């Protein structure tokens, strides 16, 4: 696992309503509290379920590059749905006490995919996606990363062009990844690079 950036490709996306977002926002602080006390926690309540981790910034913080509505949809609806579905799937199973990464690896089952894999992988993908961005972020990388990009793509600009092309021409929903081996690959909806 060594991805350095991602871009979402969800061509069938629609946006949720503002009233729904208000309810989601109210649950944000509650989610943060639960996150501190979940799974292997020593602070009291142990809920052996996967948390819905909020993006590490306000949902409008990436504007104008990514709209608040986009985050409302992909975090508040997509990401939340995958978390809820995964928790239902692992309830009472041997996956129940495992970390998200362990669930992904176990449910991938050496390529013989188990039912929990799709939801677990999409939870990880979305978490990684939020954490790959920040307000005021982006721009040209420096030092070793830039050297690797130039080595494998010719220039930073060429990478951007290839990355956009891979995302825009990927059929259906999915993700486009840049991994440390410095190649661009696209994965189907739930697949990812762990
Ligand atoms: Fe999404």
Q: Structural domains in the chain?
A: 54-136 (1.10.287.990), 139-193 (3.55.40.20)
Could you tell me the distance, in angstroms and rounded to a whole number, from the CA of residue 126 to the centre of ligand 1? 7
User: In whole angstroms, what is the distance from residue 60 CA to residue 82 CA?
Assistant: 22
| Mean pLDDT across 176-182 | 78
pTM metric for this prediction: 0.71
Could you tell me the distance, in angstroms and rounded to a whole number, from the CA of residue 161 to the centre of ligand 1? 23
Could you tell me the distance, in angstroms and rounded to a whole number, from the CA of residue 74 to the centre of ligand 1? 4
In the sheet with 3-9, reading across from the earlier edge strand, the strands are 3-9, 174-179, 184-187
Could you tell me the distance, in angstroms and rounded to a whole number, from the CA of residue 8 to the centre of ligand 1? 7
DSSP, residue by residue, the chain: --EEEEEEE-TT-----HHHHHHHHHHHHHHHHHHHTSTT--SS----S---PPPSS-TTTTTTTS-HHHHHHIIIIIIHHHHHHHHHHHTTSTTTTS-HHHHHHHHHGGGS--THHHHHHHHHHHHHHHHT--TT--S---HHHHHHHHHHHSSHHHHHHHHHHHHHT--SSEEEEEETT--EEEE-SS----
Please determine, for residue 140, whether its predicted confidence score (pLDDT) is greater than 50.
yes
| Mean pLDDT across 136-149 | 91
Please determine, for residue 182, whether its predicted confidence score (pLDDT) is greater than 90.
no
Are 53 and 35 spatial neighbours (Cβ–Cβ below 8 Å)?
yes
Could you tell me the distance, in angstroms and rounded to a whole number, from the CA of residue 153 to the centre of ligand 1? 28
Could you tell me the distance, in angstroms and rounded to a whole number, from the CA of residue 111 to the centre of ligand 1? 23
Top pLDDT among 19 and 156 is at 156
Could you tell me the distance, in angstroms and rounded to a whole number, from the CA of residue 125 to the centre of ligand 1? 9
pLDDT in tens, 51-108: 999 999 999 999 999 999 999 999 999 999 999 999 999 999 999 989 999 999 999 9
Residue 180, pLDDT score: 74
Find tokens 């062009």 and name the residue. 161
Count of all residues that appear for the chain in the document: 194
User: In whole angstroms, what is the distance from residue 106 CA to residue 119 CA?
Assistant: 13
pLDDT in tens, 144-159: 999 999 999 999 999 9
Could you tell me the distance, in angstroms and rounded to a whole number, from the CA of residue 85 to the centre of ligand 1? 14
User: In whole angstroms, what is the distance from residue 98 CA to residue 104 CA?
Assistant: 10
Least confident of 111-115, 132-136, 177-181: 177-181
């Amino acid at each position: 696992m060594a991805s350095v950036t991602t871009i979402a490709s969800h061509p069938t996306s629609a946006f949720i309503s503002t009233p729904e977002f208000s309810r989601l926002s109210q649950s944000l602080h509650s989610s943060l509290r639960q996150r501190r006390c979940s799974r292997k926690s020593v602070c009291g309540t142990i809920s052996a379920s996967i948390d819905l981790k909020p993006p590490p910034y306000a949902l409008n913080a990436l504007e104008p590059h990514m709209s608040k509505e986009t985050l409302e949809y992909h975090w508040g609806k997509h990401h939340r749905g995958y978390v809820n579905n995964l928790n239902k799937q692992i309830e009472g199973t041997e996956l129940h006490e495992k970390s998200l990464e362990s669930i992904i690896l176990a449910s991938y089952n050496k390529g013989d995919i188990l039912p929990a894999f799709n939801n677990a992988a999409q939870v990880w993908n979305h978490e990684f996606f939020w954490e790959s961005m920040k307000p005021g972020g982006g721009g040209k990388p420096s030092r070793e990363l830039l050297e690797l990009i130039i080595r494998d793509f010719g220039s930073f600009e060429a990478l951007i062009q290839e990355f956009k092309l891979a995302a825009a021409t990927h059929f259906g929903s999915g993700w486009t990844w840049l991994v440390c081996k410095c190649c661009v690959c696209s994965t189907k909806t739930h697949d990812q690079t762990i």
